[in-house]
Amino acid sequence: MVLSVSERTFAQEVFQASTPVLVHFWAPWCGLCRAIDPTLRKFDAQWTGRVKVVGVNADRSLKLASTYRLTSLPTLILFEGDKVRFRFEHYQGREELLRTLDAWMLETVHSGSNQLLQPQEAVKS
């Protein structure tokens, strides 16, 4: 189960984490949000100890939704500290999502890179 984070606990759970944090912005009415849950659990299991996965109910966290300019759900944002390093908005399938997340993590682990990667750049790595 992915840890649920609210506006009140966001800074502590995300900005103060010792590893990168993948934040899944979702809503109860969003079918695609539920569809990617198994993929996120698989990703979390594969990268245990190297990344933390949390969920934010965008309907209950309107301030966060506004701060990160959510235009569609699901939206995934990977943070290192308080910096956004990766954003994934246009869900096209579980395998593509997992490939993109894994490629980004491999790039991060092997290069120590601090640059912001777009999904298409991460997949090319």
**125 residues of the chain, pLDDT tens digit each:** 689 999 999 999 999 999 999 999 999 999 999 999 999 999 999 999 999 999 999 999 999 999 999 999 999 999 999 999 989 987 778 888 888 888 888 877 766 544 444 443 433 33
Domains and CATH numbers, the chain: 3-124 (3.40.30.10)
Model-level pTM? 0.84
CA 25, CA 58: separation in Å to the nearest integer? Answer: 6
What is the C-alpha separation between 60 and 38, in angstroms, rounded?
Answer: 22
Active site (catalytic) residues: 30, 33
